[in-house]
């Protein structure tokens, strides 16, 4: 049974996938810092700006979720799916996400953050669309 309205579901999903995207960006920063890049700074600057924008958005989402009594809790992961519990005003709803779908959502958010940093006035789905 569905307990979350569409708005809360979108809010919680955005928070979840944005958090995952920030983890990926953080790992990429570490990889570049520790890697054999000849010129690291341009990549690090881009990723750090993306990380900052993402963290600001996530902080805003977290505040909205707190006000709405909305939580996302990791449950488990198997070969194909990750399970999360969405809690909204005392009601619980288990959601399963197909791992390739998670990857695609995270990739889209990374592109979105990149566009926001590189071209703040354009909000298309892909980086190449922004050019």
Q: Is residue 1 part of a domain?
A: no
Q: Is residue 32 part of a domain?
A: yes
Cα 46 from Cα 37, distance rounded (Å): 15
Give the residue from 76, 77, 75, 78 showing the smallest Cα distance to 86: 75
Q: Is residue 54 part of a domain?
A: yes
pLDDT band at 125; cut points 50, 70, 90: very low
Cα 18 from Cα 106, distance rounded (Å): 7
Q: Is residue 126 part of a domain?
A: no
Residue 111 clears pLDDT 60, i.e. is over it: yes
Determine what percent of the chain is predicted with pLDDT higher than 70. 90
Domain membership of residue 90 as a residue range: 6-119
Total domains present in the chain: 1
| pTM of the entire predicted model | 0.87
Joined together, the tokens standing for residue 64 give: 């909205």
pLDDT the model gives residue 4: 80
Distance between alpha carbon 77 and the CA centroid of its chain, in Å?
18
Q: Is residue 30 part of a domain?
A: yes
């Amino acid at each position: 049974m569905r307990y979350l309205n569409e708005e809360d579901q979108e809010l919680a999903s955005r928070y979840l996938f944005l958090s995952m995207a920030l983890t990926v960006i953080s790992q990429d920063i570490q990889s570049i810092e520790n890697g054999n890049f000849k010129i690291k700074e341009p990549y690090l600057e881009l990723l750090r700006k993306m990380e900052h924008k993402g963290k600001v958005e996530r902080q805003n989402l977290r505040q909205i979720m707190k006000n709405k009594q909305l939580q996302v809790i990791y449950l488990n992961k198997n070969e194909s799916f990750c399970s999360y519990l969405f809690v909204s005003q005392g009601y619980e709803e288990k959601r399963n996400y197909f791992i390739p779908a998670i990857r695609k959502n995270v990739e889209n958010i990374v592109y979105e953050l990149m566009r926001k940093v590189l071209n703040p006035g354009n909000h298309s789905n892909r980086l190449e669309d922004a050019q």
